[in-house]
Structure 1
């Protein structure tokens, strides 16, 4: 029976790793903490001693409130540069927090953690895993080649620490969207793409900087059409695309697609783009018509028969979980690990989340 495992922070916690935001918060420098608290205070976000470190929830709330002020200034036609500077004062401490979290977890990850018999009994070495953690602990149980780090890893020196997209963010300036998970996953995807190019460190960093300068293209919805082509090329492109564009079923785990263009026009547009962007970014963008790249898993989801959920809250990454469950058409069994004393409401919410897309009875297993 093919087995897929979804792993969240509860897995690391169950082994004794101090990987909670609460534990990490004690290691944050006073300067970074004060900058973060000041940014929250400016947006009238009231936090207590045990809520200021709910980073992923708060960064979404703080940027959303910032957008309300931004929109008000645009309507009144006031100086927009002031509010743009303010979003940078929000992004800076949050970036520092993400870096500090990596440093903190790197120390925790070096510790020895004993394997749990309860997990060893149900998990197989040839299982596939979607790991939302950044640590290497899961490698004690299954072949590392079968582990896909959806949110980056300490080894890669990049992690996805942010919030899922919401319709409430529509129209938000790109400066305020840098910590959307979908955008961070795109950055991670490109880092992985470049890592296979054997680039020198300075070239690698230059290419990453270039991506940030062009990310708004990939998330504009226009794809390759967005580039500033000469008028003649624009007219040719509009003539061809008006006769039909390749349609793609949107999905986080879908198949890349390209707009249908004649070979000659495709070559002309590529030549024009290469005067503005690097070969690496162009070739990467072409894979999906300069739209967000699907997540490549190398897992045949339609052959998965058993799903294990190890310490993931599900709600935080609901858009991915939903699509995974829909694609696992031959799923027969779901097992969800819970820890002693876990809040019943929390367990019920996870079950309800799964039941929205699957009617399979869920077996609860204790760590």
Structure 2
């Protein structure tokens, strides 16, 4: 996807240009007021840019220089809103088929049975929206958008109104549809845990502009973006593979490089790719291997980079076969007298594991 848009909205200017993936999930991340919803509304044709170009899979939707501005109904865009926006007087089945009926038969590549099976909503087909939970409503809304056989899906904070358990209910279905239907998804969120579970690429927005865009793992490892993620979200993302689904102690072994990370058991066979997020505040540093410790994961490495930009803590990037950020107190940093190139040991307290089927704290 190619998005290059400019629009003045009162005192607020959206001026954003980036290329997203033609498959998988591209996340628009940023605080409230960053311009995320304005961008997806321009892609959908609900809001007109003052200038720019929008193209999906090589198909131009808007180009101010060439005078192209396709109306929403010709853009083949499926849109999932935060509140679902189901038609209250229709059953779930009728809500699902509402969009499908508006798509010419020759352009349909998604069928009702496949969507019902994918989203696990067969038992809901005869219910009205008022009888659905928040998570069920969003699954139906996703199904309705999918049944338009879109060239692209837009999701504007579809989980924002749900509690943690309902989010965990819906996220696996979003992950599955991005894989099984190979439809590019532009996903809006200010919640990094959702993005970790769902996205392959990320666009970081601030005040209407693009700070950075690229692969998720690369962006989350960039020190210049740590301040945008906040004190609780800074950390590292490591791509691993299940080596041992369950050892004698019941732990799952995840491999990366020559290292093995032990985590609480996860339901995945050997060879399954697993994305692991390690919060920087959950990494401790030692100068010698600890003799007795409750830490299951201790890795030898070295100090690669030191960021001393905060009053009370210091960020240290370690190389343990993968980049690993640690956030330690200034007092600890001074006592350890850390320097670039110094050999150390990293002790990992906890991680967040993503199989594309929910987030699990370990």
Q: Which category of TM-score, normalised to the shorter sequence, fits these structures?
A: under 0.3
**Structure with the larger strand share:** 2
**Higher relative contact order at CA 8 Å, sep ≥6: structure 1 or structure 2?**
1
TM-score by length of 2: 0.24
Compute the TM-score of the two structures, normalised by the length of structure 1.
Answer: 0.24
